[in-house]
Copies of this chain bind each other. A is one copy, B any other.
Amino acid sequence: MTQKPLEKALPFYLQIQHEIKERIWQGEYKPGDRLFEAQLAKQFSISRSPVREAIRTLINEGLLSMNEKSQITVYKPTLKDVKDIYGCRIALESAAVALAAERATVAEIAELGSIIAGTEAAIEKNGKEEIVKWNTKFHEKIILISDNKRLKKLVDELQSLIYYYRLLNIEGEERGAIILKGHKEIFKAISERNPEKAAQCLMEHTKEDLKNLIHLIEGKEEIK
């Protein structure tokens, strides 16, 4: 009789890591903000060691950056950076969708279908938060179907770098509808088992996204 293993509290350095990431995503720490080991340690009432480790990991993931003088700041994407990241995402995700179109099981295709249904419902209600959630789900599902963990990790990391803009991207009246249209095309191509077409659709869909995003960013003048 197997006994469920007792849960062990996560080590501090992991908890801190998640907490800092959360704060960045929530906008509590803004791009360019400087962070201090000692200060964080005091805040969390722990020593600097776990804080240091957490920071190191986040630097590796790209969410924090360290200059020559070892000063830590919150990652601040430039416009070129956003474009570069999207370039990578397009490359990786279009490869993923091509794989998905080849190897998706009937059940998996059905799941994708229900995600699209969910998106439609969210658009009806005009729940922007929710639309974003379904949108994310759709892309994640495709990567899952492609069954390539390495690919998933890379996309996840890229995604988290521009998490700030996730919500931005459904500003504008028709964004939800446009995104849905793109997803439907991709879905169709997968259903038809047409890898090239699926990749093509996704590429256009994502480029469209990027274009919109750039437009919004330039409008806001928040990054140059």
Contact = CB atoms under 8 A, between A and B. Distances in A.
Contacts of A57: 56, 60
B158 A88 contact: no
A94 interface: yes
B53 A88 contact: no
Contacts of A94: 91
Interface string A41-68: 0000000010011001100110000000
A87 B95 contact: yes
A88 B150 contact: yes
A125 interface: no
B53 A84 contact: no
Interface residues of A, number: 24
A84 B154 contact: no
A84 B150 contact: yes
A122 interface: no
A151 interface: yes
Contact of A60 (B60, B87, B88, B91): B60
Contacts of A61: 60
Nearest to A161: B150
A99 B61 CA distance: 25
Which of A81, A91, A149 neighbours the largest number of chain B CB atoms within 10 Å of its CB? Answer: A91
A177 interface: no
Nearest to A52: B53
A91 B95 contact: yes
A148 interface: yes
A95 B207 CA distance: 14
Nearest to A8: B68
B154 A88 contact: yes
A112 interface: no
5 contacts: A52-B53, A56-B56, A87-B151, A88-B95, A154-B154
Interface of A: 49, 52-53, 56-57, 60-61, 81, 84-85, 87-88, 90-92, 94-95, 99, 148-151, 154, 158
